[in-house]
Structure 1
Amino acid sequence: MISTVSLPAHNEHTHTVIYLHGHCSSAHVVSQQLWETRDCRGESVQHIFPSVKWVFPQADEIFVTRLDQTMREWFDLVDIQDPNKRRELQDPGLQDVVPQLVELVEYEGRIVGLENVILAGISQGCATAIHVLLNLRGQNRRLCAFIGTSGWMSLGGSSAQESRELLGLEIAGPSDAVYRNTPVFICHCADDPSVPIKQGRQLRDTLIAYGMTVTWKEYPTGGHWINCPQGVEDIADFLRAQGLARNRYS
């Protein structure tokens, strides 16, 4: 199974967040960034929801064409500004990691119930996590939530089925029910220097076209990350609406 960094729940473990880091980053870096990103009360989401276990999968080092060197990324990508360029280069990485991440989500689902697993990602991690969501198995099931920040749609088709076919995985029984029944929160900052906000808007529109219920938030500032404090507040409110219990002091 894919390597991970995990932070245990501080209270009784009720939910698990699986959070995928972005391009040229790592599990350790993104876990620290989340810890340092605070709401209006100076609390991170890890403070706000003490019953959550955090799992940060780690991408392998691969050759990255646009940088002409080996870096830690989920898949090769020629141009972040135009993720549809040289789409064929994205296939091998996604074909390798998506089945492993599907297994990770289902493993955590056996511990707390799939309906108590939150799948999330930033940037390229968001783009990767979408394909994980589309390929989860089991009828009449759902995740607690999907959260994407500063992301885009890689290898997107006109339907979820077409996106699966473009990726060409051999995962038995992917379920339309899982992604359609999973509430989605997508956020993006207008001043993002890495991924244009138009990519986030296109992602929103694509997921809505696939039949998902999407909450969309865009912020004037925040760069290639979560806007704070308002973005943290919005994510916390969204998770609370999905049934997560906040710290009694929050």
Structure 2
Amino acid sequence: MEFPAPHIHHAQPFHTHTIILLHGRGSNGLEFAEELFSSTTSKGKNLASCLPTYRWVFPTSRDRWSTTFQEDMCSWFDAYSLNDIQKRQELQKDGLRESILYILDIIEEEARLLDGQLGHIYLGGISQGMATAIWAFFAGIGTGQVQGPLGGLLGFCGWLPFAQQLEGLLDKSTLNGPIIHQAQRLVSTFFFDGIAGREMSQANQPEDSSVLSTPVFLSHGADDEWVSVELGRQASRIIRTIMDRVEWHEFTGAEGEGHWIKEPEGFDQILQFLQT
């Protein structure tokens, strides 16, 4: 089954940057865009109005079977449980692999539109969309499809699949010398051995750790009733081991039972990150 066409909010009057944002489970690109742009900064403007030359790309996942809910849902992969993220993790692999390949193709197309300026492309998502975006970035490094720093990674109210395996791998390894290089290699090897299978091939090229200078923005509601803030903290902790620049923001009182970005403070923070 093909992925639906992404929802695009076009840049005006010209295109200088692209932001690719992935929706959560059960949503879609258009719905996520409408929710995001209905929220405002402290100046009463939404993010698109503040950044008119940015092109906003909101991909939509295809429908896939949910083992938990016993029905087809619009989701990037099949996540069995967020109360115990270790439980039946093998269900995530096929969807993650397929979705990651799709997102990497979108990054490649946006880079073409921007004359190869990867530093003008941002990738992120909310909830399951954050989980997919982070692994797409790691996979892009391993496959060689991302060969330089992006403008930034953004994650809201999400988690990192296979976090405990990664954390154990990084903790048990003796990271002597250039730690970033070794962490990059460990994560890349884990992805290809544990998730990607034969459908993706690892690039045979010298490691370029400059890609890991991509700035990272993560935020999570401490009162999030859907994805525990502990999962967000865990993701932040692991990503800090791998990446050079990671921002972590916690808040309370957001809409959606805490499973959203705090308005307007959170949108002020996002805008500042995008303008830095």
Matched, 1:53 2:55: yes
CA positional deviation for 1:138: 5.5
Tell me which protein shows more helix as a share of its residues.
Answer: 2
CA gap of 1:120–1:211, structure 2 versus 1, over 3 A, is closer
Q: Which residue of 1 aligns with 2:73?
A: 71
- Out of 120, 128, 139, which is 2:124 matched to? 120
Q: Which residue of 1 aligns with 2:180?
A: none
Question: Between the two proteins, what is the percent identity of the paired residues?
Answer: 30
Cα distance in structure 2, aligned partners of 1:71 and 1:180: 33
CA gap of 1:139–1:154, structure 2 versus 1, over 3 A, is closer
Deviation string 1:44-96 (CA, Å, 9 cap, x unpaired) is 11111001001111101111011111110000011123222110000110111
SS in 2 for 1:80: coil
* One-letter amino acid of the counterpart of residue 89, structure 1: L
Deviation string 1:181-240 (CA, Å, 9 cap, x unpaired) is 210000001111100000000000010112342011110221111111000000101111
Report if aligned partners of 2:157, 2:232 keep a CA contact under 8 Å in 1.
yes
- Out of 174, 179, 193, which is 1:165 matched to? 193
* One-letter amino acid of the counterpart of residue 166, structure 1: G
Cα distance in structure 2, aligned partners of 1:90 and 1:78: 8
Matched, 1:206 2:238: yes
TM-score, normalised by the number of residues in structure 2: 0.83
CA positional deviation for 1:171: 3.6
- Out of 202, 205, 230, which is 2:265 matched to? 230
CA positional deviation for 1:40: 0.9
Q: Which residue of 2 aligns with 1:6?
A: 8
Deviates more, 1:136-145 or 1:14-23: 136-145
Cα distance in structure 2, aligned partners of 1:42 and 1:171: 46
CA gap of 1:81–1:47, structure 2 versus 1, over 3 A, is farther
Cα distance in structure 2, aligned partners of 1:74 and 1:53: 22
* One-letter amino acid of the counterpart of residue 134, structure 2: I
Cα distance in structure 1, aligned partners of 2:36 and 2:74: 19
CA positional deviation for 1:152: 0.3
CA positional deviation for 1:173: 1.9
Q: Post-superposition, which runs of at least 4 consecutive aligned residues in structure 1 deviate over 4 A?
A: none
Q: Which residue of 2 aligns with 1:247?
A: none
Q: What's the C-alpha RMSD, in Å, of the aligned pairs?
A: 1.8
Cα distance in structure 2, aligned partners of 1:29 and 1:153: 23
TM-score, normalised by the number of residues in structure 1: 0.91
Unaligned runs of 5+ in 1: 242-250
Deviation string 1:113-163 (CA, Å, 9 cap, x unpaired) is 211100010000000001110022258611000000001001232342223
Equivalent residue runs for 1:31-110 within 5 Å: 31-110=33-112
Cα distance in structure 2, aligned partners of 1:178 and 1:21: 28
Report if aligned partners of 2:219, 2:250 keep a CA contact under 8 Å in 1.
yes
Deviation string 1:18-48 (CA, Å, 9 cap, x unpaired) is 0000011111110001111111111111111
Report if aligned partners of 2:139, 2:191 keep a CA contact under 8 Å in 1.
no
SS in 2 for 1:168: helix
Cα distance in structure 2, aligned partners of 1:185 and 1:219: 14
Report if aligned partners of 1:79, 1:85 keep a CA contact under 8 Å in 2.
yes
* One-letter amino acid of the counterpart of residue 31, structure 2: V
Report if aligned partners of 2:137, 2:146 keep a CA contact under 8 Å in 1.
no
SS in 2 for 1:165: helix
SS in 1 for 2:154: strand
